[in-house]
Structure 1
């Protein structure tokens, strides 16, 4: 029995020359830039051209490109090991806005000739801007490539036990350091979304809350111990809040030590290694924070990989179908 698992993530530029094309792809997605198609291409090129210098400066701090692909490939290899009892299992990585694109990955899956396919987003919380967009792009590419194997879809897993256990352990390991510096505020930070997208019914913010509550319960935190906040906002639209940078300022001015926990990112990349580790650290220090600590992403943590394996096994249980979704909701 051959099983193909397709892992989805956002993607990132692999060098300075790919920064502007990556941004152009991002803003060309109708799930991201929700304007009529006639104008989207022109606007995407304009935004990409204007933002490229700033983005290049960010990736320069990472050696010129994003580490997201090799980090995701490491997760793929770990998951293959976790599932080796299922027969011949191969994980394929596909990225939404940079290589490997779905149009590259789908033919590889076709050549593997699997008996069954699992679509597994590396987004624990569902959003129309991430998971739904990635699935739509995959379905298009798979159809073009002639991929016909029965396909099972894992839609979301905001409170999946392994994910929650990994975040909780990593947080617990750093909590003593933060508390040693002073009274501690834990900031669970997720990538933000424009408020109008959430108001249109996107469940992402609610699912981020589910993830945080599950971790807080496991760690025995009270509501006063932590705050849910959102980072990476850009453009003139109002985004969901509270904003991570403003919560950092508030905690610093209150004389608190800050423990930053990425709750929606499962791999290290620019939003963690630059925005959280460099930019927000400088902000905290400038505002006089008594301490600033950042919890690592779950990466290949054994609990997380075992949790992903459990989701795959659940999706393959009798009753699964190519049109149903495997959901884990709190």
Structure 2
């Protein structure tokens, strides 16, 4: 994308009166030097909008986070949803507050996202000077900074070109899909329909930079074992589960998570046995399995002592890594006799991952596509009108990058 600078020049003349004789008429001549002033309007940044679910930054944010989550009809449609969301949030808040208290009093996801964004934009300015300057914005789905907050900041900055960069490597209607639907509604509320040229990075499950970053984290954790322990260690790739009704309507998430796992294992040389398992099931209905806790129990009974769990669908630490994997499953592993339970670190602000983020954005800008063609293919069983509305709002096209 290129932008034009607005230049204004004020040229003045100096009148020179020459009189060789009292009767000689006045003669006006242009000045030899022009007085010039230039006002330059600052080039608006190329915006990179980082979208995510978010998490309560403090314990006081827990209730509103839960209420907003269970009110989201893009991910669940319940009878009397407004009333039920209030009831569920009120009932679950005490236990969820306790979990967040265990990990320091709130979610660190905003802190990590800011760190990732700041490092990414600096690197982007270096590797993609033609689209510089770059500036990251954060749009969380259920807590501040909300989508409306990010859009207002972009409006104030005069943004003309924006890239929506989902922070979920693998696409799901429940995560990236919900964020994009809310973005469409937010753009309409903010009156920014025609002011900004948008494009979307809707998934990146097998990007080489992401694969490399994950593989490095696993290698570092495997290195903590002795050579003998390492040969027998099992790698459990754990991702947030989905209700089977979402899977059965055609959500691509399970397949894309599996693709990530396959690429990471290829990068590692397939030297260890591995499985893909699923965590964070909620409620009595059927969810995608096997559950991480069940897999842990099963391998413990089989005498497996060394297990590395890998958060393959999370790019930063939050309650699912710090509490569920570290506290809950860590305690279960110890009780079951797994003496070598380890958790690969989340990507957070790791330089390898930050470089991957910058590369993903640069490659996207160079393609000049509004989004991947895969995003425009709705789930075969989709019945959510908002999904089609959003796709109509962001039609597929080749961008000129000169907004």
Q: Is the 8 A contact 1:171 1:295 kept in 2?
A: yes
Name which of 250, 272, 278 aligns with 1:230. Answer: 278
Instruction: For 1:16 and 1:309, locate their aligned partners in 2 and report how far apart those are by CA, in whole Å.
Output: 33
Instruction: For 2:190 and 2:368, locate their aligned partners in 1 and report how far apart those are by CA, in whole Å.
Output: 27
Deviation at 1:180, TM superposition (A): 5.0
Name which of 114, 117, 140 aligns with 1:76. Answer: 117
Deviation at 1:319, TM superposition (A): 4.0
Q: Which residue of the partner structure matches residue 279 of structure 1? A: 328
Name which of 295, 302, 315 aligns with 1:254. Answer: 302
Give deviations 1:130-183, integer Å, cap 9, x for gaps: 001001111211222222210011110000111000000110111132455732
Give deviations 1:34-68, integer Å, cap 9, x for gaps: 225xx111111111111111101101112221111
Q: Residue 323 in 1 paired to residue 395 in 2? A: yes
Q: Is the 8 A contact 1:162 1:305 kept in 2?
A: no
Q: Which residue of the partner structure matches residue 168 of structure 1? A: 215
Distance 1:233 1:181, change over 3 A: farther
Name which of 8, 12, 16 aligns with 2:51. Answer: 8
Give deviations 1:81-136, integer Å, cap 9, x for gaps: 11113321100011000011011111101111123100001000000000010011
1:39-58 pair list within 5 angstroms: 39-58=80-99
Structure 1 runs (4+) greater than 3 angstroms displaced:
178-182
Q: Which residue of the partner structure matches residue 109 of structure 1? A: 154
Q: Residue 120 in 1 paired to residue 168 in 2? A: no
Q: Residue 193 in 1 paired to residue 242 in 2? A: yes
Looking at secondary structure, tell me which structure has more strand per residue: 1
Q: Is the 8 A contact 1:153 1:325 kept in 2?
A: no
Q: Is the 8 A contact 1:208 1:264 kept in 2?
A: yes
Q: Which residue of the partner structure matches residue 360 of structure 2? A: 311
Q: Is the 8 A contact 1:164 1:214 kept in 2?
A: yes
Q: TM-score, normalised by structure 1?
A: 0.94
Q: TM-score, normalised by structure 2?
A: 0.77
Looking at secondary structure, tell me which structure has more helix per residue: 1
Instruction: For 1:266 and 1:245, locate their aligned partners in 2 and report how far apart those are by CA, in whole Å.
Output: 21
- Give the superposed CA RMSD: 1.7
Q: Which residue of the partner structure matches residue 66 of structure 2? A: 23
**2:202 counterpart SS class:** strand
Distance 1:146 1:19, change over 3 A: same
**1:229 counterpart SS class:** strand
Q: Residue 88 in 1 paired to residue 133 in 2? A: yes
Q: Is the 8 A contact 1:114 1:149 kept in 2?
A: yes
Q: Which moved more, 1:288-297 or 1:81-90?
A: 81-90
Instruction: Give structure 1 stretches of 5+ with no counterpart.
Output: none
**1:64 counterpart SS class:** coil
Q: Residue 291 in 1 paired to residue 363 in 2? A: no
Instruction: Give structure 2 stretches of 5+ with no counterpart.
Output: 4-44, 371-393, 399-403
Paired positions, count: 323
Name which of 153, 159, 182 aligns with 2:200. Answer: 153
Instruction: For 2:112 and 2:161, locate their aligned partners in 1 and report how far apart those are by CA, in whole Å.
Output: 25
**2:178 counterpart SS class:** helix
Max Rg structure:
2
Deviation at 1:318, TM superposition (A): 5.2
Instruction: For 1:306 and 1:236, locate their aligned partners in 2 and report how far apart those are by CA, in whole Å.
Output: 41
Give deviations 1:173-227, integer Å, cap 9, x for gaps: 11132455732111000011101101011100110000000000110116x7000
